[in-house]
Structure formats: structure tokens, C-alpha cells
Amino acid sequence: MKKFFFYFAFLICILIFNGCSDNPNENINNRGNLTRVYDSILIDSIILKDGLLELDHQDPNFIDYKAVYDSIRARKTSLYLVLGQVIEYTSVDVKNREKNLSGIVFFPASFKKIENVPVICLTHATQIMRDLAPSSFPKYLKPSDFPEVVIGIAMAATGYVVCMPDYQGMGKDVSEFHPFCNGELLGKASADMIIATRKLFANNQNISLSSQNFVIGYSEGGYVALATTKEFEKEYPNYTLSGSVPMEGPYDLTGTMIGVMLADTAFPVPYFLPYMIRGYMEVYPTEFNWSNILTEPYLTTLPPLVDGYHNGDIINSAMPKSKVVKEIFNSNFITNLKDPKSSIFQKLYLNNIWFNWNPKTEIMLIHCKKDDCVPYNNTLVTYNEFRIKKGLTNVNKFEPEIYLPFGETVHVQAAPACFLAGYLWILTKTH
């Protein structure tokens, strides 16, 4: 997801802020506790501005960055300077055991105390490179490699505290592989970071948090956003989740996404499939292992590349030239994917985010109907489960129809309009 983003054209300036210094905490009792808070980072507006994606188009129907900026600015009369901190906090590993995870928090800065600041958890999209997790941003300060970090900075500039979890197997957690599309684990990692973020500002003299918490994410981040909503409601009933904006996520694994895996047509970003398999191997090693899944030559060529250190282009080069992703599977695995009674199918079914849950939070599902990577049917199935079958009026959906003319897929092109719609929806719920 390296190429997609929209940038709110805010000027972020350098400010030295009385944030927390390096502060290890040895008393780890349960999840959501801060275990380490690193020095504040200084956001240089010149670095961000130089990294902006410049688009040159004449079509007035496309959203451009000026339109995004004008739309946001019309609703937010003041913009803040922004600082950020990398934190570590207690959560769970891929085996559901206590584990320190990492993430980055961006927050508005002012010489006067800022009151009633809501928290937004921005869950990042698919990132197969371990070293490009959100908390690595201070090491590189390269916006083009961290598009959603820039979105988080822009949101913080409008008066929100924005936390961005790295997830298991990313950031400072180098001992395990990222459990791609495992709802429980990723939901816990993100829900726990919301709590840790609130603790970060519990005694802060410059920022006073409101009771409001939001979550928003795109692509895998959309999946994680909905999973976070589920886990937050279950694990933290004494806290308020004021709204959730899952966007373009693969929520329906055993229906829509198995259809993608077994399709006879080319798939635009084939690397996602071995990446997902590798993540499931980490959590369900009995059901998922390379030898049970892949056929040659892919059994030999693919596994060494799916390690978090080879990018999507390299993995794609080892996939079938036809881009028909099912060609990497052996016949037994295909049979298991088609069989609802197989243990493989059942593990995937447990990770359908709509399964076994009646959400209480206001949810706005956002999905472009023309998405060519994560089909719109993921959102339609989820909406129908919640709204139609269960009558949950707190679940709604929106389908943006316009997208920017950049990127190789509609999934990439749709991101700016989705983020704009999601952000504006959060604004309407903020008090």
C-alpha cells in the first residue's frame, strides 16, 4: 500500500514540547500498560511538503488535495503544531501471551492547554516490510514510505490524539511474524494501544483528553479497525468507543476472499496471498504450513521471500505470471478451501469479523464498489449480517464514487476519497 494516500495540505512546524522522556516501566501487570515512552519527535513541515505526491490532472470530477484541504479547513478553524512519540505497551503475541508491542502517537501541541481532545486509533494498511511499520517513521522521515503516518499527523493537526499501532510481528516486535487478517490478535493489539495512549496523557499538563475514542483504517487497516471495535467492546466496557470507520477491508474471508483465492482470473496484487498464509502459519501451524499448501515450483521459491524483508514486487516476481493466485496451491489445499467442514476453512471462518458479534458502536463502513483488490462484497456481506439480518441500526455504509488518477489499482485510487469521507464522519461525531 506504499503508493496510496491523500495529504491534507497542512503546514506542520517544529516545536519543542514537554513530552515524556525515555521512561521504562518495569511494573507490567496487564494489557494496555505503558512499558516505554521514547523522546518526542519533531515534525518538520519541509520534509513532509517535499514528500507530497504531486498530481497533474485536469478532470474536475476528481478530488484533489486542495479540495481535501478546503473541505477540512472549512470545518476546523484552527490547526495545531504536531509532535509524536513512539511507545511500547503491553498486549499479546501471536500465541495470546503477554507481549510488549509498539506504535507511534501524534498529538497537537500548544503553549496553552488543549482541553477535551479525542483519541483516534488509525490502523495501518497492508505493509509487508517490517521496517516500515508506523513507529519506524522517525528513523526515516520519508513520507512516501509512510503515507498513513502523514494522514495521522494531519488528523493530529486538527485537534486529535492519533495512535498508530505497529501490530504483532512489526515495529519493535521482531520475534514473530505478522498475523495478517487474524481478527482477535490484531484487534487486541489496537484496542490495547488506545488504552495505553490514554494512560500516556493521564497526567499531561498540556493536553486533557475527552472520553471519546474513534478507530479508522483502510484495507488491512479496515479489517483491523472492525476487529478493534469488536475487541474494544469486549475487553474495555468501561471506556467509550464513539465511532468506527472500517474502509475497504477483507472482512468476509470464507466467502468473498476465498472466491478471490480460487478465481480463474488475474489478481492485481498477488503477493497478499503468500503473506496471509505466512501469517496464518504463525497462529495455526497445524492447519497452515507451506508443504500442506503450495505446489512446486512455488513450494521452493516463495517461502524464503515471505519474511518481512522482501517487498511486494519481489514476491510478485515469484508468483505465477498469469497472476491467477490459485496456481500456487496444491489440490488438497484447494479441496480444503472449498470444504466448510475442513479445519482450514474453520480457522478462516473464525476470522470473519462479522461472526458471532452484535456491535454496539456506531459503525460507518466505507467501500468503493469498483474495488479490484478487496471486493465491495466484503462490506456488503458485513452490512447485511449486522443491519439486515440483525437489525442493528448503528451500522451504516457509504460508497464513494470518485478517486484520484494515480496508483495501479482502483483499491489504491479509492483511498483518498475514503479517508476524506471517514475523517469528515468522525468530525460529525466529535463533541
| Cα 226 to Cα 232: distance, rounded to the nearest angstrom | 10
Point out which residues pair with 105 in neighbouring strands.
Answer: 85, 163
| Cα 255 to Cα 401: distance, rounded to the nearest angstrom | 24
pLDDT (tens digit per residue) in 290-334: 999 999 999 999 999 999 999 999 999 999 999 999 999 999 999
Give residue for cell 516463495: 302
Cβ pair 233, 225 in contact under 8 A: no
Structure-block grid coordinates of residue 187: 484487534
Domain match, 375 and 405 both:
yes
Q: pLDDT at position 325, please?
A: 96
- Find the mean pLDDT for residues 382-409: 87
| Cα 67 to Cα 62: distance, rounded to the nearest angstrom | 9
Exposed/middle/buried for 391, CB within 10 Å: 0-12, 13-18, 19+?
Answer: exposed
Q: Are strands 243-247 and 161-165 parallel, antiparallel or unpaired?
A: unpaired
Average pLDDT across the chain, whole number: 86
Peptide linkage before 246 cis (omega within 30 of 0):
no
| Cα 176 to Cα 168: distance, rounded to the nearest angstrom | 7
Q: Is residue 134 part of a domain?
A: yes
Domain match, 239 and 262 both:
no
Domain match, 371 and 279 both:
no
Q: Is residue 319 part of a domain?
A: yes
Among 301, 320, 349, give the residue marking a domain's end. Answer: 349
Across 48-52, 169-173, 278-282, least confident range: 48-52
Domain match, 208 and 275 both:
no
pLDDT (tens digit per residue) in 10-57: 322 322 233 333 343 333 348 999 999 998 887 765 544 444 443 323
Tell me which residue range forms the domain holding 333: 255-349
pLDDT (tens digit per residue) in 227-247: 999 999 999 999 999 999 999
pLDDT (tens digit per residue) in 119-161: 999 999 999 999 999 999 988 777 777 888 888 988 998 999 9
Domain of residue 147, CATH code: 3.40.50.1820
Domain match, 68 and 85 both:
yes
Across 5-19, 77-91, 281-295, least confident range: 5-19
More confident residue, 338 or 15: 338
Domain of residue 308, CATH code: 1.10.260.160
pTM of the entire predicted model: 0.88
Alpha-carbon torsion, ordered 329, 332, 335, 341, to 10 deg: -120
Three-state SS letters, 291-328: HHHECCCHHHHCHHHCCCCCCHHHHHHCCCCCCCHHHH
Domain match, 134 and 180 both:
yes
Q: Is residue 75 part of a domain?
A: yes
| Cα 7 to Cα 385: distance, rounded to the nearest angstrom | 34
Q: Is residue 15 part of a domain?
A: no
| Domain count within the chain | 2
Tell me what percent of the residues of the chain surpass a pLDDT of 70. 84
Q: Is residue 396 part of a domain?
A: yes
Q: Is residue 239 part of a domain?
A: yes
- Find the mean pLDDT for residues 385-414: 85
